[in-house]
Amino acid sequence: MERPIAYDKLAREDRFVRMRARRVGEIRSEQGLPVMPDLASMESIRERVHGILVGELQAMEGAGRTVYDFPDAPWEFTMDMARQTWDESRHVEVFSRLLEHLGGYIGEFPETTILWRCACAEDAAARVAGVNRGLEGLACDVFVQLVEIARRLPDPTIAQSVDYVLADEITHVRMGSYWLNRLTEGDPERRQRAVEFQESIDERFNLGGMRRDGPADQVPIAIATEYRKLAGFTDEEIERLVKSTQRSPVY
Amino acid sequence: MTGVTPSPADQPAAELAGHLGVEATARRVRHYRYAEERMMRVMAGWIALTPELPAKLLLGRQVWDCAQHADQWGKRMPELRAPAQVSEPSGPEFVRFMDALEAREAWGETIERLTGVFRVLKPHLVAVYAAHLARANPVYEPPTRRILERCLSDERRHLGEGASVLEALARTPADRARVSAWERELRGMLTAHGGLTGGAE
């Protein structure tokens, strides 16, 4: 098997509809819709859940590739990535069932592959920085908000199942924080490159200003400060992320 | 009476009769770890290359179990006077078998991927583990026996799950012929040189 594989080797059933993220944004804009579903209606919640489902699928595929692509990495690293692969497979099942619970189906909305592209970074340290800290950090932000909205609806099915997924995501971010440090020990340049990769992902997923500091019910995606601290983000990193959201095009 | 009735004094000796010595067990454990680790990495790598969602999830669910098996074998090694977490194939033939199993990575080869793992490699692992467990001494080898029991339990469950997914995928006679052909070819490679243990009893 190739190590690593090309982006376009990602395999899908025909029912999935793949589209470039930029094109999805253009279509949404043409239709007068926000860049990301705003969770203001059941349809937008369903669309968000579909987006999370394909994200979890790519996270499982990415973690699996990390197990395969780095046979010389420390064994404990492989163990963590194998564990993450299992966790992500459960998340796919959770969100598949939630999608059905909301009356949706796989392929109802397009799939973009930004997460998968991040998971194809050639350096293991960049992968854990970008995927575990950047994207799984974003997942913490998104899930905290989804749980809050589900509690308000109220929809205890969504609230409880997503809360369990959130607990896993915090564990994955924690793994990312640990392995970013371990893998780059004594190699500040490698660490810097990995951190820059993560920051580029953070910038991209500020989603034109949709992710912001503020109460979950008042901003499109709120930065989950307390959960991020639990996952190993420092106050300085959170502050930097907040500042980066203020630099995004919406401001 | 034709046989010799063991005297009470012989009973402890019979209970302490053993199959493999410490060094042989350590070597065997390295072979097990090689198989579990390599299978785990291959299954993990295939997830992204497998289009069918049930097969994708099947692989994703089992990777962690196989990693834990490899890890438990790896942790057993220092208890047997050997370095921890070392994988060692029984010989180049077993490596070639694993290379062949791994090589079916094209999108359209999910049937071959699942056949290789669920109809050849895992059934072989189950047979080897079961044979080892049947002969491992219950007085001084419970540490090995416990790992064998855990692995056997998981692998048997994996086989059941894999059989369901493969059956759903291989619906046509042509599909089933692919299963049979690949199973026959791989099984031939595996058994020609003694399989996972290289022919050691």
Per-residue pLDDT tens for A130-154? 999 999 998 999 999 999 999 999 9
DSSP-assigned letter for residue B6: P
Beta strands in chain A (DSSP E): 211-212, 221-222
Q: Which residues of chain A have pLDDT under 70?
A: 207-209, 217, 246-251
pLDDT of residue A251: 29
pLDDT of residue A240: 82
Bridge partners of A173, per DSSP, are none
Fill in the amino acid letter for B125. L
pLDDT of residue A248: 47
* Nearest chain B residue (CA) to A13: B51
Q: Which of B33, B43, B56 to mutate to test binding with chain A, by most A CBs within 10 Å of its CB? A: B56
Q: Is B44 close to A64, i.e. CB distance below 8 A?
A: yes
pLDDT of residue B9: 66
What are the angstrom distances between the C-alpha of A138 and each of A37, A96, B75, B83, B159? 15, 20, 36, 41, 37
Set of chain B residues whose Cβ sits within 8 Å of the Cβ of A65: 44-45, 47-48
For the stretch B105-114, pLDDT in tens is: 999 999 999 9
Set of chain A residues whose Cβ sits within 8 Å of the Cβ of B47: 60-61, 64-65, 85
CB B94 within 8 A of CB B196: yes
Q: Which of B39, B42, B46, B49 to mutate to test binding with chain A, by most A CBs within 10 Å of its CB? A: B49
**B 50-89 near A (Cβ less than 8 A):** 50-53, 56-57, 59-61, 63-67, 71, 74, 85
In this complex, the residue of B44, B57, B107 whose CB is nearest that of residue A11 is B107
The separation between CA B1 and the C-alpha centre of its own chain, rounded to angstroms, equals 44
pLDDT of residue A249: 44
**A 119-158 near B (Cβ less than 8 A):** none
pLDDT grade for B1, boundaries at 50, 70 and 90:
very low
3-state secondary structure of A222: strand
**A 190-249 near B (Cβ less than 8 A):** none
pLDDT of residue A241: 83
List Cβ<8 Å contacts ≥24 apart for A21-25: A21/A112, A21/A113, A21/A114, A24/A110, A24/A112
* Class of residue B178 by CB neighbours under 10 A (exposed 0-12, middle 13-18, buried 19+): middle
Nearest in space to B36 (alpha carbons), one of B61, B63, B69, B59: B69
pLDDT of residue A29: 85
The separation between CA A153 and the C-alpha centre of its own chain, rounded to angstroms, equals 24
Q: CA-CA distance, B132 to A29, in Å (whole number)?
A: 64
* Nearest chain B residue (CA) to A65: B45
Residue B117 has pLDDT above 50, yes or no: yes
Q: Is A82 close to B40, i.e. CB distance below 8 A?
A: yes
Mean pLDDT of chain B: 94
Residue B7 has pLDDT above 70, yes or no: no
- Give alpha helix (H) positions in A31-105: 42-69, 75-101
- Cβ of A18 under 8 Å from any chain B Cβ? no
Q: Is B45 close to A10, i.e. CB distance below 8 A?
A: no
pLDDT of residue B8: 65
Q: Which of B34, B39, B64, B117 to mutate to test binding with chain A, by most A CBs within 10 Å of its CB? A: B64
Q: CA-CA distance, A78 to A70, in Å (whole number)?
A: 8
pLDDT grade for B169, boundaries at 50, 70 and 90:
very high
Fill in the amino acid letter for A219. V
Set of chain A residues whose Cβ sits within 8 Å of the Cβ of B61: 86, 89-90
At a CB cut-off of 8 Å and minimum separation 6, what does B190 contact? B94, B97, B120, B121, B124
Q: Is B102 close to A1, i.e. CB distance below 8 A?
A: yes
pLDDT grade for B15, boundaries at 50, 70 and 90:
confident
- Cβ of A92 under 8 Å from any chain B Cβ? yes
Token pair for residue A174?
């924690």
Q: Is B47 close to A64, i.e. CB distance below 8 A?
A: yes
pLDDT of residue B6: 58
Set of chain A residues whose Cβ sits within 8 Å of the Cβ of B46: 1, 64
pLDDT grade for B16, boundaries at 50, 70 and 90:
confident
Token pair for residue B35?
């198989």
Residue predicted with more confidence, B20 or A37: B20
Helix (H) or strand (E) holding B43: helix B22-46
- Cβ of B108 under 8 Å from any chain A Cβ? no
Q: At what angle do helices A75-101 and A156-183 cross, to 10 degrees?
A: 160
Residue predicted with more confidence, B40 or A26: B40
Q: CA-CA distance, A195 to A198, in Å (whole number)?
A: 5
